[in-house]
Every structure is written in C-alpha cells, then in structure tokens.
Structure 1
Amino acid sequence: MARPKFLPDNFTLCLVGTVILASLFPVHGHAAAAFNWLTNVAVGLLFFLHGAKLSREAIIAGATHWRLHLVVLISTFILFPVLGLALKPVLSPLVTPALYAGVLFLCTLPSTVQSSIAFTSIARGNVPAAVCSASASSLIGIFVTPALVSLIVTNQSASGGSAWHTVWNIVLQLLVPFVAGQLLRPVIGRWIERNRGVLKFVDQGSILLVVFGAFSEAVNEGLWHHIPLTALGGLLVVNAVLLALALGITMFTSKKLGFSRADQITIIFCGSKKSLAAGVPMAKVIFASNAVGAVVLPLMLFHQIQLMVCAALAQRWGARDMSAERAASAGDESRSGPNKHSAAAARR
C-alpha cells in the first residue's frame, strides 16, 4: 500500500524517534563513552565511503562553469552568515540564545549534495554543474565552516579550542577518511556504485548515531528544561524566514545575472540548502558535547523545511517545463501536418 502523502519519509520518522528515544533513555557514563567511540567510527566510515564514491571526472567536468559555482559559494558561505547576523536582533528574541547559536552554526554549513542534485534533476536544471557545486561546497566547508563558527557563533557554545585546533580535528576525523576513500576509489569504487544501499545505510545510520549521542548528552545536561515550547515555535519561524530569504535572493540574483533557466535552478537549489549530513558530524567536533543537542536542533528542523519546500518547487518547475515541451512538440506536429497532407496529395 502506498504511503499517504501527508506522512514524512522513513528517515524523518527515524530522526524524530531517535530524539524521543534519547530524551527518554539517554546514555551516560561508560555507555556514553562507548557510544561516542562507535559514533566516531561511523562518521569516519561515512566520509571514507563518500570519498570512494565521488568521481573526480564529474568534478573536473563541472568545474569550468566558474560563475555559477562562485554564486553558489557566495550564497552558501557569505549570504547565509550575513542573514543570520542581520536577523539576530529581530529573530533571536523568539528563541533561546543556545538555539540561535545553532541557527548561526546552520548559516556556516556547506550545501547538501544528494538532495541538491536530486531536486535539480527533477526541476530539469543543470545536473553536472549541481554535482560540481554541491561537492565543492562540501569539501570547502570542511575548512570554511569552523573558521566562520569562530567568527560569528558565541563562545559559550564552542568547544573552547582554537579555530586551528577545530580545523585539525575535522581534518583527522572527516578529511583523512575522505582522502583515503578517494585513493582507494579504483579498488572499491565499482563495488560502492553497485551497492548504493550500503552508503545510504551508513549515511543515515551515522546521522542517527550522532543525533542520539548529542541529545543524550544534552538531556543529561537538562536540555528540555531550558527550551520552552514557545522557543521551538519561534525556531520554526526563524528557519522559515531564513529559507524564504535565501530562496528569494538566489532566484532574483541568478535571473539578474543572466544565467539560463537550467543554471538558475541549480543556483537556487545548491545555494539555499544546508547539509544535515555534514553539519551533525561537524557540530560534534566543533562544539562542547553538552551543547551539541541544542546546536543541531535548528539544523534538523531546517533540513525538514528545506526538503518539503524544495521538493514542491522542483516538482512544479519540472512539470511546467515538461508541459512547455509537450506544447511545443504538439505545435510542431500541427504545423507539419498540412505539409504532409499536401505532399501526399501531390504524389497522388
């Protein structure tokens, strides 16, 4: 039986279930230490598999469209942080300081990879450019995100180490496995392509592990006692405003700069989205363990909003382009029809 359209996808349900489970049965003590070790292994495996999966040819092929990539990177790493800081006096009263620190962290993150490419494809945008932009954003984010966090996120939520220390931790935990995967791509790349389900399982499983560990630690520190329901409602408003502004600005800018419709679609989807897959592991490295739960909560909510809104936009734009192509094809056939009949009459 088909899933009702009003129900969220399985991964979203798992995320909600993980938060509830961690809230009711948080791990602590030696169990928390063992769980933390398991999570680190899972995150390292995730980036190793992504490194083995990512084709260098795809990156090189799409890298020539530098104007598009520059607009996407500016939107991702400049526009979002500026919006987060500019809106802080207006929107921060709607949430707690810890939650707005999470909003600012969200603003520093790279774009998504899988969903940006998928939505670009559905909307009939420039898919090769989307592959390159989203992949470049993820790689650049490994270095740019911790630097931006040290600049714009309040020190009370940070882990206490220097920016360089944070970058070094990210290099060890995320970049080194990624590079190892790239080096071993000739050996295991085909196997990963044939077994995409393994990557999906590790991808989603590692996120669930990090979320469970983060919320366990946060619950042990009294997370839900410090965040009222009104703040969660305010967080929904903050995320909706942030996404609406990002979508509106990327739509307007890409059109004014003279990009083709396909390129505009790529810029909109790659430049307005934020990566849950990259953000949750980075939060674990960058922030103190007792702050991670509150920091990733805005990202988790933003992730669901961006998926629903961008899915609706992609379906609408894709259907509109398909209808236009059908109309053009029908027009060509109607114009060629009389000529075919005239030619047949002349032959008779």
Structure 2
Amino acid sequence: MAYEPANNRYESMKYNRVGRSGLKLPAISLGLWHNFGGGDRYENGRAMVRRAFDLGITHFDLANNYGPPPGSAEETFGQILKHDLAAHRDELIISTKAGYHMWEGPYGDWGSRKYMLSSLDQSLKRMKLDYVDIFYSHRPDPETPLEETMGALDHAVRQGKALYVGISNYSAEQTARAAEILKELGTPCLIHQPSYSMFNRWIENGLQDVLDQEGIGSIVFSPLAGGLLTNRYLNGVPSDSRAAGPSVFLKSDQITDSKLQKVKLLHELAGERGQTLAQMSLAWVLRGGRVTTALIGASRTDQIDDCAAALNRLDFSEAELARIETILAAE
C-alpha cells in the first residue's frame, strides 16, 4: 500500500527560525548516523522516516560517511525518498556533510575544495537528488586554509547543488572566522551543528554567543548524551546496550557511579514534570530559544514518538533549572 502522510502532521510540531534566515526547522530533527546503514533492516529505517514525517519532522540529517558502511545511509534514504516521499520533496529539509574519511588517497578526507565538491556529487548520486537543502563542512581542517573550505561551500550553492551551507564541530573562534569569510563570499553561514547535552556544555563557553551575534542557527547532536540521558541506564549498563559494545556514541568507561547517580536524580525530576528523562533532556537543550533544533537518533519508531512528545512541555521553572544545576555540579 502506498504511503500517505498523516494529514495532521504539522499541527503539533514546533518550527523555529534558523538564525536570521528565512528558513524554519522542526524543533526535533532526525539524524541517520546509525541504524540506516547497509547492515540494518531497510523496512525499519523506512518505518522510522515515515513516522518522523507523520509527526511533522521535516528535517533529515545525513553525512557522506554515515552507515555503516560509509555511504549506505544516503543510499537507504534515497530509496525511502523514491518509494515514499518523492511527492513531498519540497516539504523536506535534507542535509549532508563532508569532512571525515570517505575514500582512499589524498583527496578523500578533510576540507579541500577537491574533496568537498567531489563528496557532494557522490552524496547527490547516492540519494538521487539534484540538490540538498544544507551542505556542511563536517569538521575544520587544520591544514587547509579556511578560505578554501568555505569557498567550496559557496561554490556548491552557486552550482545549485545546495540551498544553504553550515559547519559542524567548529570552535567559537573558527566559527566567527568562517562566518566572516562566507559573508564576504555572499553565501551566509546558515547553521552550526555542535554536540550539546546536560553532560556536555562546551557550546555555552563562547560558541552560542558567536552564533547569536552572527545570526547563525544551531542543530545540536547527541542531546541525550549517547543514550545516557534516557531510561536505559537507570540500573547500570545493560549487556545489550550501546555502552556495552563498540559504540561510537557511548563508552562504558564514561558511565561512572557519579554520573549514574545524576541520571537517577534527573530521572526523578523528569517524572515530577510528567516527562521521561529523554523528553526533559531534549526540552532542556531547547530551553531559552538559543538552540534551533535537537537532532535525535533512533532505532525504533516508538523512540521518535517519545522524543517528539518532549515538545508538550518545554518550560522550566527557575527552581527546576536550579535543581538541575545542583545535580550536575555534584561530585
């Protein structure tokens, strides 16, 4: 049976303007970093994308190396687009990135013009698209002039292969310089994608100020600290969890007794707010309006439902925020 999106898909989702641009993104976006690769079940990935769109999640975040193996997440998403969402392309924001190792030889990594533009062409081919909505520099390259990397992003827009450009994992100082270069080129930096959660607050030390000053939006990844800020680890590390295996998201040595105690106390507060820990954690990164959208990962459709329900309660009292700070500051 052909997929028909939910008629009420835009009624409950919150959409936030991206910096000083004309674009809006859903407050919750879906990332395809893992669980959409060649070794994952296609129908499960397809069900998650469809469920996300039914909930008003219009933004799907990819990168050239997502999988595994690298490239396979884009191929999977291309198939889902073809089968289910082709008629809704103009309702979607599709992003991809280049910056990490993708192919052998000196031109398959980092931030050269050669690599960035070749990678974008490959990504478009895998997804069977004429353009992506956002193309990112996935990480700063210490050996390539920033002018070259930003020039490649600008060129992608002028080629019509991307509508907007962004950067990811750039420091506050690097972001300010990148924004300056892109502004001079006439292709402003739309968005920054940094990691951010209650356990990882580095963007509060300067980056958020730069984004505010430059009118750049933000999409934060790992807002649930690799799954630690969910109900999964309330009783320790389950044998079938990410942390118990070779996960890139969460290592078992990161889960200390002190951190688990904080998770339990945060879980109690979330319950008092009528939320799951994941929902409160997402609401927390979105507090105050400085973060445009929280990027979630999922392995099941019900996880997407749970995360989207975070939008039912985004407000925090001063007492709740103070209590969170006390929990996080404890040794």
Instruction: Give yes or no for TM over 0.5.
Output: no
Q: Shorter chain as normaliser: what TM range?
A: under 0.3
- The structure where strand makes up a greater share of residues is 2
Q: Which has the larger radius of gyration?
A: 1
- The structure where helix makes up a greater share of residues is 1
TM-score by length of 2: 0.27
TM-score by length of 1: 0.26
* Structure with greater contact order relative to length (CA < 8 Å, sep ≥ 6): 1
